[in-house]
């Protein structure tokens, strides 16, 4: 069982050519060398694999492809963004999110 978190400093996203599955992924990087690979499943009815720790400071998260636009919007328009990995007690509660933000703060232009 494990818990870890890091603030996303940079990201990349890929649209791979000539693949039947796994056509898109995001790579989220923290300033301390942490990495989260985010993979997208095209079949909206498919069960998603649980988030996992692949190696020290390296995580793999899975979302449906329909969630890609929302995640890209968050990365472009919100700050700060965090990766939270938590599979304690056998319950996977991992996420990519903001933390508490003031109500009505608006976005900077």
Domain residue ranges of the chain, discontinuous segments joined by +: 3-97
Q: What is the pLDDT of residue 59?
A: 97
Cα(52)–Cα(59) distance, rounded to whole angstroms?
A: 6
Whether 22 has a pLDDT exceeding 80, the answer reads no
Whether the CB-CB separation of 15 and 100 falls below 8 Å is answered with: no
**Residues comprising the chain, all counted:** 109
- The candidate with the shortest Cα–Cα distance to 50, out of 90, 3, 12, is 90
Task: Encode pLDDT of 49-60 as tens digits.
Answer: 999 999 999 999
Distance of alpha carbon 31 from alpha carbon 51, whole angstroms? 21
- 52-101 confidence digits (pLDDT tens): 999 999 999 999 999 999 999 999 999 999 999 998 876 778 999 998 87
């Amino acid at each position: 069982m494990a818990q870890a978190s890091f603030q996303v400093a940079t990201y990349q996203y890929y649209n791979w050519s000539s693949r039947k599955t796994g056509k898109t992924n995001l790579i989220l990087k923290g300033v301390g060398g942490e990495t989260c690979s985010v993979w997208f499943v095209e079949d909206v009815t498919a069960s998603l694999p649980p988030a996992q720790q692949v190696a020290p400071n390296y995580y793999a998260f899975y979302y449906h492809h329909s969630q890609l636009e929302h995640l890209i919007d968050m990365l472009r328009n919100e700050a700060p963004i965090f990766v939270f990995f938590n599979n304690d007690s056998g319950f996977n509660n991992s996420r990519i999110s903001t933390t508490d933000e003031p109500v009505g703060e608006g976005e900077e232009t």
